[in-house]
């Protein structure tokens, strides 16, 4: 069960980078100076069975999950509407705008699937790196492209196109705000859990060693039975 819980859809190096980003964003300088590396390892990791830890509180954001669900239901209609509008005006656009709009449509479509997947995993399973990846994809890729489609005067903006883009933008901004708040709560909770474990190690080292020995001895009979 521990091995299954530790699995992640992200590569290890990317996961560490997103964890470091979350730690530097939400943990103040004093906390970072007193052990940011340890906190970074704690984010998204399971608590040690040898140490006491805070009672688990559900940190998943209900508003974020609702917006992700409705966004996933709305996205196929956005793809259909944008594809129809692009086909109607494609021959009327200059060559470079044809390439720009086609590239923007493909990038938005491909990125949105990965973004929604990371949002679901990061929020429901309370994984900080995945939620940070969702936030970065939303803010660095989806938002600029969508603003380009809404504000550029040379792409022949059609009424249906403006409507579907405006609703998509409303989803995107709401999700960025909700994901930022959820990520801050998760980071703070896991940092507090990490420092509680560090305090326990300093105050009760013998008790921690005894708990670790008891845990390892309890696991040995099950290993013999499996062999």
Instruction: With respect to residue 95, please indicate whether it lies within any of the assigned structural domains.
Output: yes
- Our count of domains for the chain comes to 1
Q: What is the pLDDT of residue 209?
A: 54
Q: What is the pLDDT of residue 34?
A: 41
Share the mean pLDDT of the chain: 76
Instruction: With respect to residue 98, please indicate whether it lies within any of the assigned structural domains.
Output: yes
Instruction: With respect to residue 88, please indicate whether it lies within any of the assigned structural domains.
Output: yes
pLDDT band at 58 (very low <50, low <70, confident <90, very high): confident
- The yes-or-no verdict on residue 61 having pLDDT over 70 is yes
Q: Which of 203, 201, 202, 213 is nearest to 51 (CA)?
A: 201
Q: Which domain holds residue 96?
A: 62-183
Q: What is the pLDDT of residue 19?
A: 63
List Cβ neighbours of 95 (8 Å cut-off, separation of 6 or more).
none
- The yes-or-no verdict on residue 180 having pLDDT over 60 is yes
CB 17 within 8 A of CB 157: no
Instruction: With respect to residue 118, please indicate whether it lies within any of the assigned structural domains.
Output: yes
- The yes-or-no verdict on residue 179 having pLDDT over 70 is yes
Cβ atoms within 10 Å, residue 31: 17
- The yes-or-no verdict on residue 101 having pLDDT over 90 is yes
């Amino acid at each position: 069960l521990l091995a299954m819980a530790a699995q992640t859809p992200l590569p290890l190096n990317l996961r560490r980078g997103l964890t470091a980003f979350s730690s530097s964003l939400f943990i103040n300088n004093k906390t970072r100076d007193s052990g940011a590396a340890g906190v970074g390892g704690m984010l998204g990791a399971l608590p040690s069975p040898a140490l006491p830890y805070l009672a688990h509180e559900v940190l998943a954001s209900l508003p974020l999950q609702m917006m992700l669900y409705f966004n996933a239901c709305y996205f196929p209609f956005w793809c259909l509407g944008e594809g129809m509008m692009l086909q109607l005006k494609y021959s009327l656009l200059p060559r470079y705008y044809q390439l720009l709009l086609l590239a923007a449509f493909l990038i938005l479509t491909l990125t949105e699937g990965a973004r929604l997947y990371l949002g679901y995993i990061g929020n429901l399973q309370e994984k900080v790196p995945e939620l940070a990846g969702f936030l970065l994809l939303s803010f660095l890729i989806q938002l600029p492209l969508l603003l380009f489609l809404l504000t550029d005067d040379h792409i022949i903006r059609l009424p249906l196109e403006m409507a579907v883009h405006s609703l998509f933008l409303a989803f995107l901004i709401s999700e960025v705000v909700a994901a930022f708040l959820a990520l801050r709560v998760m980071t703070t909770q896991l940092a507090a859990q990490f420092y509680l474990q560090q305090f326990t190690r300093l105050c009760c080292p013998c008790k921690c060693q005894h708990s670790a020995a008891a845990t390892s001895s309890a696991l040995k009979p099950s290993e013999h039975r499996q062999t």
